[in-house]
Amino acid sequence: MSNKARRRKAFQFYFPLLLSGIVMQVQALVFVTILLGLYLLNRLHAIDLDKIPQIMTITFSGASLAVGALFASFFIRITLKPVRELMDATDKVASGDYSVRVLPRGLPYFRDLSEKFNHMTEELQSVELLRSDFVNNFSHEFKTPIGSICGFAKMLQDEDLSPAERNEYLSVIIEESERLSSLSTNVLKLSKLEQQNILTDKTEYNLSEQIRLCVALFSAEWDRKSMDVELIGDDVVYTGSKELLKQVWINLLDNAIKFTPNGGIVRITTEQTPDHVIVSMFNTGKPISEPAAIHIFDKFYQEDSSRKTAGSGLGLSIVRRIAALHRGSVAVRPEQDGNTFVVLLPQS
């Protein structure tokens, strides 16, 4: 049992006894005060001794009720103050202010409630920031290709264009249309993955062979940039979603091709342990900066703020989500002459 739980249990046991003791002490003080007052009045012959029991009973009862009412009012006012503050804070959250926080104080129950409320508002604030960033980035990513398509389509209306210019403008329109289509596909794919919590299509298959087939899909890209691809490691058999993991290797390979200079190297290493399957993908090139390494798996994030590099900034977000569905993880490790992406998948 934790210290916090012990303190709460002790409080539940001792607090009623403590409260009863305080009330009894106050009542005893009132009783003694009444006795002293009656004694003084008797010495001054202000009252008759025969009437003392009746007067004492009425006075003590009235005083006890008054003290009890005052004590209860004071106690309720003090103890319920955190509740009133929490109610006011809840109204602010309902109106959309997620920055509100409540100072934990009062009884342990109220302190726990305040801490949980603050945790809730922090989560809501994070979700709101992510939602706002997503909307802004999504709007920007869609606006750019749409603007290009519209602009070059208008330029095609010029009858004086040469065949070379017309073909150039058409090529831009086709390229931007494909980019827009890819962005839409990735957004829908990521949205579907984020709503998925359970893998229902797990099968046992040769993961190393799957990676080799994915590498072959990019053969034209390897030749175009004169890149060398190295595959290291024994065959790995894994039980998981074959289709989803294929998307992981395609996205990582596509990312490696984009950021590896001509004549560079991509090295893929597979390793199988009793507990995990580890796939490392190294590519030569400029090491990722520390701030970029923190956010590189965020939606729409691109280290190049000018966005000259082709891509939607969703590929690595999809990789991270698929790894999470397999109860695994993905991380980036900047090296002296490049970067290594490491996918860690637990054995079923």
Percent of the chain residues topping a pLDDT of 70: 65
Contact status, residue 303 vs residue 319, Cβ threshold 8 Å? no
Q: Report which of 262, 231, 271, 256 is spatially closest to residue 335, judged by C-alpha positions.
A: 256
Contact status, residue 258 vs residue 308, Cβ threshold 8 Å? no
Q: Mean pLDDT throughout 281-293?
A: 86
> What CA–CA distance (Å, rounded) separates 57 from 70?
20
**Which top CATH class is 202-346?**
alpha beta
Q: Is the pLDDT of residue 48 over 60?
A: no
Domain extents in the chain: 3-121, 127-195, 202-346
Range with the poorest average pLDDT among 83-97, 174-188, 299-313: 299-313
Tokens of 81: 């103050």
What's the mean per-residue pLDDT of the chain?
76
Q: Is the pLDDT of residue 308 over 60?
A: no
pLDDT at 306: 47
Contact status, residue 335 vs residue 288, Cβ threshold 8 Å? no
Burial label for 60, CB within 10 Å (0-12, 13-18, 19+), is middle
Q: Is the pLDDT of residue 278 over 80?
A: yes
> What CA–CA distance (Å, rounded) separates 299 from 315?
9
Range with the poorest average pLDDT among 165-174, 184-193, 198-207: 184-193
**Which top CATH class is 127-195?**
mainly alpha
Say yes or no: do domains 127-195 and 202-346 share a fold. no
Question: For residue 62, what are the CA distances in angstroms to 19, 51, 57, 68, 261?
Answer: 21, 17, 9, 10, 92
> What CA–CA distance (Å, rounded) separates 5 from 112?
11
